[in-house]
Amino acid sequence: MSEAQAFFDAGDATWPAARRFEHGPWTLREGQGGGKRVSAATARGAITDADIPTAEAAMREMDQRPLFMVHAGEDDLDALLAARGYGVVDPVTVLSAPITRLTDVPMPPVTAFCIWEPLAIMAEIWAAGGVGPARLAVMDRAATKTGILARWNEKPAGVAFAGVHNDICMVHAVEVLPHQQRQGVATWLMRAAAHWGQAQGAARLSVLCVDTNIRAQALYAKLGFAPVGHYHYRQSTE
């Protein structure tokens, strides 16, 4: 298994689709409104142009707009989809750091709390950032997981979700309230995730960051994260 594949597998396990199944040369996902990651088809090997309608039909049967996740190096698949008019959406970089890079500082008292199931205030903060009930349902499907609530200026400040698969702790859905931003809250959320993940046996911390999110990319670089993989989506124009 390649290093990148280990992180892709961790992404699937810690942000799981409602249903994931093999269909010909494809892995298909039923997202039930949980976003692109849990709704995209991925190739299990070499793909020909004749294979694409099979995946399209299966996704339409699930009432999903045809959507493919294309990993770095899948140039032939990318070209086939481009020729069919599929546009590129949301290039993503998979970032990772040794978990000890973020556990070197003890967590200050009452700065962050690992909680599952989410408190009402956590759901409210996620909802304000566009993470609604369908994505909370994605979180609930993960096996080893926690929500994280950050507190700053004696008020709720932000949330994150973390899950562990094998030795990787992957962090998703980081949201900081606008009036609490630029005060280090996101850093404490990541550190809390690292401490929790280390307690679950994880050795690496990882995030999936959209390339256009410059602020998040800068934060993760500052914390010592480095790229370990890339992917983007190709979406039907229908």
DSSP character string of 2-40: -HHHHHHHHHHHHS--SEEEEETTEEEEE-TTS-STTT-
Could you tell me the pLDDT band of residue 3, with boundaries at 50, 70 and 90?
confident
In terms of Cβ atoms closer than 10 Å to its own Cβ (0-12, 13-18, 19+), residue 157 is buried
Instruction: Kindly tell me the burial class for residue 168, based on how many C-beta atoms sit within 10 Å of its own C-beta (0-12, 13-18, 19 or more).
Output: buried
**Is 178 in a helix, a strand, or coil?**
helix
d(C-alpha 238, C-alpha 236), whole Å: 5
Using one digit for the tens of pLDDT, what is the confidence trace for 165-188?
A: 999 999 999 999 999 999 999 999
Taking each helix axis from N to C end, the angle separating 185-199 and 214-222, rounded to the nearest 10 degrees, works out to 60
Residue type, 163: G
Q: Per-residue pLDDT for 101 more than 80? A: yes
C-alpha distance from residue 212 to each of 93, 121, 126, 215, 221 (Å): 10, 28, 20, 9, 14
pLDDT single digits (tens) 188-237:
999 999 999 999 999 999 999 999 999 999 999 999 999 999 999 999 88
Confidence grade of residue 117 (pLDDT, cut at 50, 70, 90): very high
Please count the other Cβ atoms lying within 10 Å of the Cβ belonging to residue 36.
16
In 62-187, DSSP assigns E strands to: 67-71, 87-98, 112-115, 145-152, 155-165, 168-176
Give the integer Cα–Cα distance in Å for 202 and 101.
Answer: 13
Query: Does 1 have pLDDT greater than 70?
Result: no
pLDDT at residue 71 greater than cutoff 60: yes
Cis check for the bond before 61: say yes or no (omega within 30 of 0): no
- Return the pLDDT at 236: 87
21-48 average pLDDT score: 97
pLDDT above 80: residue 2: no
CATH 3.40.630.30 fits 96-228, yes or no: yes
3-state class of 161 per DSSP?
A: strand
| pLDDT band at 238; cut points 50, 70, 90 | confident
pLDDT for position 37: 97
From-to residues of CATH 3.40.630.30 in the chain: 96-228
Q: Judge whether residue 13 has pLDDT over 60.
A: yes
**Cα radius of gyration (the chain):** 18
